Chain A
């Protein structure tokens, strides 16, 4: 699931690592402590995990405001353009590559 891929990336971000597992999918990530630079790390982490690139118009605070918000944006990106993360060809039910940690 994309939700789990997003959570896996968030678990590697210091700002929210300790609280990810208690956050709901609609919880405000900025209120949970996600900083501006942490947002950049989420962007880079998801792009690396999914082999995608966020279009310029989606590089907004709203996109990164919650797990569900991120999943909604990721769902609008064409999976066909996604490349599996290096060393992993696992995909989820939607055909999305799964982050390495999930594939293990």
Chain B
């Protein structure tokens, strides 16, 4: 942990209220779903650009996605097996005039206007790396040196909360690496070191720690224990809403050959490739900055401003 002085205590609810009152986030009436002000968007954009500047020399292929992905790609990932509680599906009306009239007259007990909604061929994207895997798999064998993708997308996770750091829709900037186990472990380690330096430059008291995904139910506990014992997931943590419970602003993951098996991603040697990703929750980093340095970015320390806005 850094020796930086922590911001004064503020509950998650009080922090969110302050963000609302200052107009940084705009309430919608649904926990975890907020509008963003120009100042907040400026912060998200600055963090996004900072990540871009740090990684520009990596030679990653840029991929940007809308916040939905194919249902077939989602199903292949196994996400619903592991984290069904977080999933958001997209359902659409596919009926005719008669069916339309019928559902408009349905009572709430009969399902109301939702009575005829059918699952579509897209789902909400749970992580920005997910749409990347089927694309890479579709290209055939990886080059000998592997491949690197710089992805970004709005992501959805159904976990409504008063904690402003736990949004239902948020942006991820995620680097995705394909190759040998050695390459993925080096990528994971490199991004952890790079992230700690990035957060230090932003004046954020960050630390990294072993972590696990929020797997569902009793089987989930087994999955989480397995993930930890193999040291597959690390997070970069910063105090945001609760000084006693740090919030993850980024994670560094080694998937072994899970996604290669799921999507048929083949390495140069003809074997299942190994994959890893290093991602940041952009809104969370923005919130961490607001929490640590105050609600007025123009009053932040010059070193922090120079890191985020090097031209200003």
Within 8 A of A (CB), among B209-234: 218-219, 221-223, 225-227, 229-230
Among the 9-residue stretches A2-10, A55-63, A77-85, A89-97, the one with 4 or more Cβ atoms under 8 Å from chain B is A55-63
In the complex, chain B residues whose CB is within 8 Å of the CB of A56: 218, 221
15 A–B contacts, CB within 8 A, in A order: A35-B258, A36-B223, A37-B82, A39-B226, A43-B218, A43-B219, A44-B219, A54-B218, A59-B218, A59-B222, A59-B225, A60-B229, A61-B229, A61-B230, A64-B222
Within 8 A of A (CB), among B250-285: 258, 261
Consensus secondary structure, chain B interface: helix
Q: Which residues of A contact B (CB under 8 A)?
A: 35-37, 39-40, 43-44, 54, 56, 59-62, 64
Indicate if B95 sits at the interface (CB-CB under 8 A).
Answer: no
Q: Which of B81, B218, B221, B225 contacts A37 (CB 8 A)?
A: B81
Indicate if B78 sits at the interface (CB-CB under 8 A).
Answer: yes
Q: Which of A36, A40, A44, A59 contacts B227 (CB 8 A)?
A: A36
Q: Are A61 and B219 in contact (CB under 8 A)?
A: no
Q: Are A36 and B229 in contact (CB under 8 A)?
A: no
In the complex, chain B residues whose CB is within 8 Å of the CB of A40: 219, 222-223
Consensus secondary structure, chain A interface: helix
B223 (CB) vs chain A CBs: closest residue: A36
**Bound CA span A61–B228, Å:** 10
Q: Are B222 and A43 in contact (CB under 8 A)?
A: yes
In the complex, chain A residues whose CB is within 8 Å of the CB of B218: 43, 54, 56, 59
**Bound CA span A37–B230, Å:** 14
**Bound CA span A40–B83, Å:** 13
**Bound CA span A77–B128, Å:** 43
**Bound CA span A39–B224, Å:** 12
Q: Are A59 and B221 in contact (CB under 8 A)?
A: yes
Q: A39-B226, A61-B229 are in contact. List 15 more A-B contacts (CB 8 A).
A: A35-B258, A35-B261, A36-B226, A36-B258, A37-B78, A37-B81, A40-B219, A40-B222, A54-B218, A56-B221, A59-B222, A60-B229, A61-B225, A61-B230, A62-B229
Cβ distance A34 to chain B, nearest Cβ, rounded Å: 10
B222 (CB) vs chain A CBs: closest residue: A59
A64 (CB) vs chain B CBs: closest residue: B222
Q: Given the known A-B contacts A35-B258, A36-B258, A37-B81, are A61 and B221 also in contact in the complex, defined by CB atoms under 8 Å?
A: no
In the complex, chain A residues whose CB is within 8 Å of the CB of B227: 36
In the complex, chain B residues whose CB is within 8 Å of the CB of A64: 222
Q: Which 3 A-B pairs have the closest CB atoms?
A: A40-B219, A59-B222, A61-B226
Cβ distance A74 to chain B, nearest Cβ, rounded Å: 15
Within 8 A of A (CB), among B75-103: 78, 81-82
Cβ distance B58 to chain A, nearest Cβ, rounded Å: 29
**Bound CA span A60–B224, Å:** 9
Q: Are B258 and A60 in contact (CB under 8 A)?
A: no
Cβ distance A8 to chain B, nearest Cβ, rounded Å: 20
In the complex, chain B residues whose CB is within 8 Å of the CB of A39: 222-223, 226
In the complex, chain A residues whose CB is within 8 Å of the CB of B258: 35-36
A62 (CB) vs chain B CBs: closest residue: B229
In the complex, chain A residues whose CB is within 8 Å of the CB of B78: 37
Cβ distance B227 to chain A, nearest Cβ, rounded Å: 7
Cβ distance B75 to chain A, nearest Cβ, rounded Å: 14
- Chain B 189-222 near chain A by CB (<8 Å), digits 1 or 0: 0000000000000000000000000000011011
**Bound CA span A103–B279, Å:** 50
**Bound CA span A40–B78, Å:** 13
